[in-house]
Structure 1
Amino acid sequence: MLRTLTRFFVYVQTESNLKRLSLCSAARTGSAMTEPKLYRPPAEVRGMTSLDKDAFTQTITVPALRVPTGVLNKIVKSLKKSTIQRPGVPRVVQETEESSDSRLLLLDPNRVATPSSFSEAEAEALRSFGVAEELHRYELKLTYDNLKSEEVLEAVLPPGQDVTSAFSRVGHIAHMNLRDHQLPYKNLIGQVIMDKNPGVTCVVNKLNIIDSTYRNFKMEVLAGEENMVAKVKENGVTYEFDFSRVYWNPRLSTEHQRVVQLVKRGDTVFDVFAGVGPFAVPAARSGASVLANDLNPESHRWLQHNCKLNKVEGKVRTFNLDGRAFIQGPLKQELPGLLRGKASVHVVMNLPALALDFLDAFRGLLHQEPPCDHNLPTVHCYGFSKDDNPDTDVVKRASRSLGLPLEDRCSVHFVRNVAPNKDMLCVRFTLPKEVLFCSDEEHAEEPASKRQKCEDTTDSA
């Protein structure tokens, strides 16, 4: 139970780092001038499926202070926590054309109900600048442009329904995973997200789980242009790709950086499931020699494009092979020579739904070579786990694939929660010589792992 609660807490913390649409918080006890409905759109918009921005217009009453223009800037600075904070709403307004010597400072009705609502420091500032603590009322017109995303969606969706929704930003694209009860409002939701997030010109919704073979998914455009070619910058590296045809997850930026920082100039990196290059390209930029592979022809094409874009095409050799064929082909051919060198060798296997099953490709890989224990490759293999003890689970599965216990020979790094009960982890170990150089008689060949679809839809959220 404790493990489940811990996972949920970390998952919520992770999700909070994304653009999140959430329910408005309740007004602070004892400080609201009136109930917080002042900030909510009119009730008539409930159930709207086609966005009518004019329907959200309303007039509310907010408290205000009359402040002499000579001390206005100082008062605004002293009361900044109590002033109104609304998108597109000015905090200072002119009361009438004749009131040239004073202005009205608009206050937050959920913070200031009476003069006694001011903090001691705020009250002292008002007295020191000779500003009367008398509150005035100001009729403020709010439009759709002055509302927050969550306020619009809370007003539109059926009462009692969870309106919480997250999206990932991939260049100009906002990528969503809508829930079933949100689907009747999908186009409205897409338009709201595009309106409220500058730079977003396309909003898409994922329609199915990730295809394990090519690691992409079908999607529909909810709002904006149907341009799926995104340009993103991650850890100082620029990438371009067709988001609808390749795999890209902005939540893995920290993990990409963590592993690449372990690679030194002169090292060699074998990237078995390279995608569009988030490990391969920065590793090459750091001075490593890289062999990068991906089965998806589109990923392979954009991988080559990103190598040229970042001027590392001379340091990266690209392949369009199945991961097992890459290990038993190019990697096998290059490895004997690398083992005789001094630079380190890294093997990155970032296909968490299946990568652990591919470890058996290393069994007896160099059985025709003279055994050695020098400069053996470091493997970084990713996996998902729904087990109560995910660290133990991924190590057992890696050991089973290799045919050798890894419990005392590896480390496990927690990457992220992809769901409240599903973890992504990285198993790091030196490839044992007992596995790499074992003879045909010392191990039984296992059939190639059958392709299978990812179990969960949340990984690319």
Structure 2
Amino acid sequence: MDILTAVDQSQKFVLVVPTERELDATPNAPEGTLRAYISNYDVASIASMAEEMFRAPIHRGMRTLDRSKFQKTALLNAARVFDNKNISKLRAALERSKDALQQDRLGSVHADPDPERAKAGKKCILLRPGVANLHISSRNGNPTNGCEAQSARPYSPTLMDLVQQQLIEIVPFSLQLDYAYWTYHDIITAILPEEAQDEVPSGFSQVGHVAHLNLRDDYLQYKTLIAEILMDKNPGVKTVINKIDDVGGENEFRTFKYEVLAGPDELNVMISEENCIFNFDYSKVYWNTRLNTEHRRLVELFKEGEAVCDVMAGIGPFAVPAGKKGVFVWANDLNPDSFASLEDAVTRNKVVDYVRPFNEDGRTFIKTASAQLAQSSRKVEIMSKVSKKDGPAAKPRVLRTLEEPKTFQHFVLNLPASALTFLPSFIGLYPAALRSQLPEDFEMPLVHVYCFSTKSDDNVAEGVQICEEIGRQLGYAKMRVGKVGEDGEGAVEILDVRDVAPKKRMFCATFRLPREVAFRET
């Protein structure tokens, strides 16, 4: 190792303290040479040093996860705190001066590196990589006068002041890092080969205790490693599965084939969404956590006392939260397992007065539910709450009474792959015989139908295509992109819900059912 004697005062420096062995191995080192040398690292170099210091060990050839291989010692310095009552103030001062270690998932306050001091409860504050050791002595045992240390200032005046005030002293600190410290991304990128680093598998859907992956073929050879690390780094995950059939293989119930990569093959889960609890077997029903925002958006459109027909209700992500806000929902799903979970959710979340579950074909349900609603008579009394301060004799009183309407204000068709093909069921929805039982001025319902289409930056072409298909299914050529309630009959609002694939997007098309379609004789 070369001992550098020239110092460029224009640079920021890192003071590195070599070991006796390194000094002894230095050729021609004169007697009295300082036990230190100066490296002219700039700020970028210090940042690079920190990045390398805390990077997980590389094990490109690993195929079976060996957690013991992920061990590392980070050689740092620490500010030894003489009086523990000063820890908070000293840490704040060193954080402001950027001297304290600021590393994700690592606190800066640790036990003193000296075992005896640590046993007595003494603490130290870890310093960022690059902060030098101020305890410099000459090789022949004569201490320096401090000038050499002053010439190499990788630390702030704040740190120097604290040392001079004898509030702290700088000591070496060996920080032990292990598998538990690094994240999923840290570990998996240390294992995957360089050519597989472009799109590291990181996204997954978590449904209860189940993590659902959809791995690309390129990563299938690493699937067990990926699953084990993912489960290690996500405490709530107990089972990891991977979808093994393509989109075209999905059945009419939108369930999928899967393989278990880690954990037990137990997919009975319980989840909470919008303050509602759902219990279901994920292998037998459809559920998509990423649709939470869309569930909330649509339910917010429903008003207390309205009636909603949820044609493909699944386990009830629209129906149950709507019921909680006093909306009458007729919720249907063809899948018997979804229907069973829907019934459970209705009871579990105490919305029996508002939500009626059905297990029928959606195409016929649109018409039968509309006819049955006209004959239905349901009222729900909204009661006041009684508190202890009202006294033991107090009883709840009726605040208001909600009466179920005779027509639906909303229809929801959430089956994006085929929902548009259900629209012909709205033709002749209200024949003359049924209209005679309804109020003369009843308003046509809003239809919210989900579908897939291509994707573009502005969705203009997709909107036109969706409207054309809606018009074709309804036999009504006036359907067009517009604002419902402002642009006349046939206006369709197109909402971009989410990306499904690189060239595929999910949309929600909302329109008010045209009277000509609803009253058409069939």
Common topology (TM > 0.5): yes
Supply the distance in 1 between the matched residues of 2:280 and 2:321 (Cα, whole angstroms): 16
Residue 166 of structure 1 aligns to a residue whose secondary structure is coil
Which of residues 448, 452, 468 is equivalent to 1:396?
468
Whichever residue aligns with residue 202 of structure 2, its letter is S
Q: In terms of mean alpha carbon deviation, does 194-203 or 385-394 score higher?
A: 385-394
Structure 2 SS opposite 1:276:
coil
Q: How does 1:106-117 map to 2 (within 5 A)?
A: 106-109=126-129
Q: Secondary structure at the match of 1:29?
A: helix
Secondary structure of the structure 2 residue equivalent to 1:284? helix
SS across alignment from 1:379: strand
Change in CA separation of 1:342 and 1:276 when aligned onto 2, cut-off 3 Å: closer
- CA-CA distance at 1:29 after TM superposition: 3.0
Amino acid at match of 2:288: N
Residue in 1 aligned with 2:507? 425
| Partner residue in 2 for 1:406 | 479
Is 2:106 the counterpart of 1:38? Answer: no
Identify the range of structure 1 (388-397 vs 182-191) with the bigger mean alpha-carbon deviation.
388-397
Q: Report the CA distance shift for 1:226/1:91 in structure 2 as closer, same or farther (over 3 A).
A: farther
Look up the match of 2:450: 382
Highest CA radius of gyration, 1 or 2? 2
Where in structure 2 are the equivalents of 1:243-322 lying within 5 Å?
Answer: 243-322=282-361
What is the 5 A alignment of 1:76-91?
76-80=91-95, 82-85=100-103, 87=105, 91=109
Contact 2:306 2:405 in 1 (8 A): no
Distance 1:353 1:127 in 2: 69
The farther-off stretch of 327-336 and 208-217 is 327-336
Please give the alpha-carbon distance, in whole angstroms, between the structure 2 residues aligned to 1:71 and 1:33: 32
- Give the distance between the partners of 1:148 and 1:28, measured in 2 at CA: 26
CA distance in 2, matches of 1:354, 1:183: 31
Q: Say if 2:373 and 2:407, in contact at 8 Å, map to a contact too.
A: no
| RMSD, matched Cα | 3.1
Is 1:355 aligned to 2:392, yes or no? no
Name the SS of the counterpart of 1:160 in structure 2: helix
Question: What is the aligned partner in structure 2 of residue 139 from structure 1?
Answer: 174
Q: Indicate the SS of the match to 1:241.
A: strand
Structure 2 counterpart of 1:105: 125
Name the residue aligned to 2:195: 160
Return the alpha-carbon distance in structure 2 between the equivalents of residues 222 and 280 of structure 1. 33
Letter in 1 for 2:238: T
- Which one of the candidate residues 108, 111, 131 is aligned to 1:93? 111
- Cα distance in structure 2, aligned partners of 1:131 and 1:418: 61
Give the Å deviation of 1:74: 1.8
Residue 231 to residue 71, structure 1, CA distance change in 2 (3 Å): same
TM-score by length of structure 1 reads 0.79
C-alpha deviation, 1:303, in angstroms: 0.8
C-alpha spacing 1:85/1:279, structure 2 compared with 1 (3 Å): same
Say if 1:337 and 1:231 are closer, same or farther in 2 by CA, change over 3 A. closer
Distance 2:67 2:101 in 1: 26
Tell me: CA distance 1:79–1:243, structure 2 relative to 1, closer, same or farther (3 Å).
farther
**What whole-Å deviation, never above 9, does each CA across 1:239-291 have from its counterpart, x for those lacking one?**
11111111111111121111112222221111011000001111112112211
Distance change >3 Å, CA 56–CA 89, structure 1 → 2: farther
Deviation at 1:75, TM superposition (A): 2.6
Give the SS at the match of 2:46. Answer: coil
29-38 vs 402-411, greater mean Cα deviation: 29-38
Query: Are residue 59 (structure 1) and residue 98 (structure 2) matched?
Result: no
After superposition, the C-alpha distances for 1:284-338 in whole angstroms (9 at most, x for unaligned) are 1211221111111111111111111112234322222222121233334435889
C-alpha spacing 1:70/1:415, structure 2 compared with 1 (3 Å): same
Identity among equivalent pairs (%): 38
**Structure 1 residues 388-443: Cα deviation after superposition (integer angstroms, max 9, x where no partner):** 33333322222221222222422222222223432222111111111111123xxx
Question: 2:203 is paired with a residue of what secondary structure?
Answer: strand
Number of the residue aligned with 2:185: 150
Partner of 1:207: 244
Q: Secondary structure at the match of 2:265?
A: coil
Letter in 2 for 1:401: Q
Identify the range of structure 1 (84-93 vs 221-230) with the bigger mean alpha-carbon deviation. 84-93
- Highest RCO, 1 vs 2 (Cα 8 Å, sep ≥ 6): 1
CA deviation vs aligned residue, 1:134-192 (integer Å, no higher than 9, x gap): 86542222211111111110111111313242112211111111222221221221111
Q: CA deviation at 1:94?
A: 0.7
Aligned equivalents of 1:184 and 1:319: distance in 2? 44
Gaps of 5+ in 1: 1-26, 441-461
* 2-structure distance, mates of 1:65, 1:191: 38
Bigger shift: residues 290-299 or 309-318: 309-318
Structure 2 residue ranges without an equivalent (≥5): 1-41, 133-151, 378-403, 483-490
- C-alpha distance 215-268 of structure 1, shift in aligned 2 (>3 A): same
- Per the TM alignment, residue 116 of structure 1 is displaced from its structure 2 partner at its CA by 5.8
Shift of 1:46: 1.9
TM-score (norm 2): 0.70
